[in-house]
Amino acid sequence: MAPVEICPGIYSVGVQDPDLRIFDVIMHAEHGTSYNSYLVCGSAKAALIETVKAPFTDKLIANLRKFMDCSMVQYIVVNHAEPDHSGALPRVLELAPNATVLATKMGHHFLSNIINRPYKAQVVSDGERISLGDKELVFLHAPFIHWPDTMMTYVPQDKALFPCDFLGSHFADERLFNDQVDDFSYSFRYYYDHIMRPFKEYVLKAIEKLRPLEIELIGPSHGPVLRRDPWSYINAYEAWSKEPAKEAGRKHLLVFYASSYGNTARMAQAIAKGAEQAGVVVSVFDLLATEIPSVLNLIEGCDGMAVGTATINGDAVKPVWDLLSNLATLKLKGKVGAAFGSYGWGGEGPALVEERLKGLKFRLAEPALKVTLVPTEDDLAKCQEFGGKLAAAIGGAEAGRSA
């Protein structure tokens, strides 16, 4: 992609990677991604903000050479040292041996293990300013969005913010600007859910630092440059990162299930009924029709969670594991957890779920409840009683009452 001037004296010199389909092993990238890099040209000095993933090094260098010999770059800002941004750095430093690399202390810790040889390193403190002549770089430490090293760089003269992964999207589009590219709202939310959401308290802290700033352009390190209504993206992050509003004074139990023939589903409904009768708010989710990112806030905000699974081949079923494998970064300690399920023979599924819930720091209030094949009326009454006991364990208003 040819360099683009994104505001006077600041150029996008990064690369598009439209063919990428999986990022970092775990993230889908249906629209590819970009590794954005920005050249900030002040009247006295030039700074490069981020480099690119190693295989794209030659393209970055070719873009830089359209403006200057690489040796003219005095500063290289590394807001975050993950190799998709620092992979090209060793080669760029060969061409710009006198450039000073600016990063947080933790950033240099990571970089020293990426570059693996001495380099000119300068640790920048929170709020520190470095002059490029008629432009300045201001550094805002923002740890854990999403690594401990992260910071953002602000150019006050242009009201331009460079926050690295923060506010990014895996979305390749050479038209670059958010008012010119195709709709990337799905990719923006997906990126938040997978990269930033686990660190949402740090997201809110970072946004607190941004509020006093005038920001007219955001140049993240993946995806479109946000020049139209940049604050709407910050506001979206803030809204997504705030705790969900709870029904005042009420405890909340979530019941998830994956059912092969409707038997575990009937158990789920009976458990919900029992818990509701005991005074808690209950939400029931069929995991075959649930998008997991959309329920993570609910799980973090709930007081208890019951997970129902069929047993197939001696195991809980995949939709259940998909749910449980997404919970490791949530705050769950002390919430009530329980497992249940219908089975034909063996019935190992609920016990395996129970173990995982324990590993996630749930408090197991009741032993797993199992029913052989089709639940009888007596079984369903036991399920209601089970729901009532879960309500009691989480402190429901009329806890313990069975139907």
Which residues of the shown chain bind ligand FEO in the complex (CB under 6 A)?
80, 82, 84-85, 146, 165, 221-222
Alpha helices in 66-158 (DSSP H): 83-86, 89-95, 105-115
Distance CA 89, CA 75 (A): 12
Nearer to ligand FEO, 84 or 276 (CB): 84
Kindly state the smallest distance separating residue 221's Cβ from ligand FEO, in Å: 6
For the bound state, the minimum distance from the C-beta of residue 111 to ligand FEO, rounded and expressed in Å, comes to 14
CB of 115 within 8 A of CB of 93?
yes
Residue identified by tokens 């709202």 is 185
Q: In whole angstroms, what is the distance from residue 69 CA to residue 49 CA?
A: 16
- Whichever of 52 and 130 has its CB closer to ligand FEO, that residue is 52
Contacts of 212 (CB under 8 A, 6+ apart): none
Asked if 358 and 387 touch (Cβ cutoff 8 Å), the reply is no
Q: Residue 339: which of 314, 318, 316 has the closest Cα?
A: 316
Q: How many angstroms separate the CA atoms of 237 and 234, rounded?
A: 5
Q: In terms of CB distance, is 146 or 200 closer to ligand FEO?
A: 146
User: Measured from the CB of residue 140, what is the shortest distance to ligand FEO in angstroms?
Assistant: 17
**Closest CB to ligand FEO among 165 and 303?**
165
Closer to ligand FEO by Cβ: residue 162 or 362: 162
**CB 92 to ligand FEO: min, Å:** 17
Closer residue to ligand FEO (CB): 89 or 295: 89
* Nearer of residues 84 and 238 to ligand FEO, judged by Cβ: 84
- Tell which phi-psi region holds residue 160, choosing left (phi > 0), alpha (psi between -120 and 50) or beta: beta
Residue 90's CB is within 10 A of a number of other CB atoms, namely 17
DSSP 303: S
Phi, psi of 285 (to 5 degrees): -130, 125
Give the Cα separation of 326 and 197 in Å (integer). 11
CA distance 12 to 380: 63
Question: Shortest approach of ligand FEO to residue 53 CB, angstroms?
Answer: 9
Query: For the range 114-121, what are the long-range contacts, defined as Cβ-Cβ under 8 Å and sequence gap of 24 or more?
Result: 114/81, 114/83, 114/86, 114/87, 114/89, 114/90, 115/89, 115/90, 116/90, 117/90, 119/93
Least separation, in Å, of the C-beta of 164 and ligand FEO?
7
The residue of the chain with the least Cβ separation from ligand FEO equals 82
Nearest distance in Å: CB 2, ligand FEO: 22
Least separation in angstroms between residue 331's CB and ligand FEO is 22
Shortest separation between residue 144's beta carbon and ligand FEO, angstroms:
11
Give the HSE-up count for residue 215: Cα atoms under 13 Å, Cβ half-sphere.
28
Closest to ligand FEO by CB, 164 vs 272, is: 164
Q: Which is nearer to ligand FEO, 88 or 392 (CB)?
A: 88
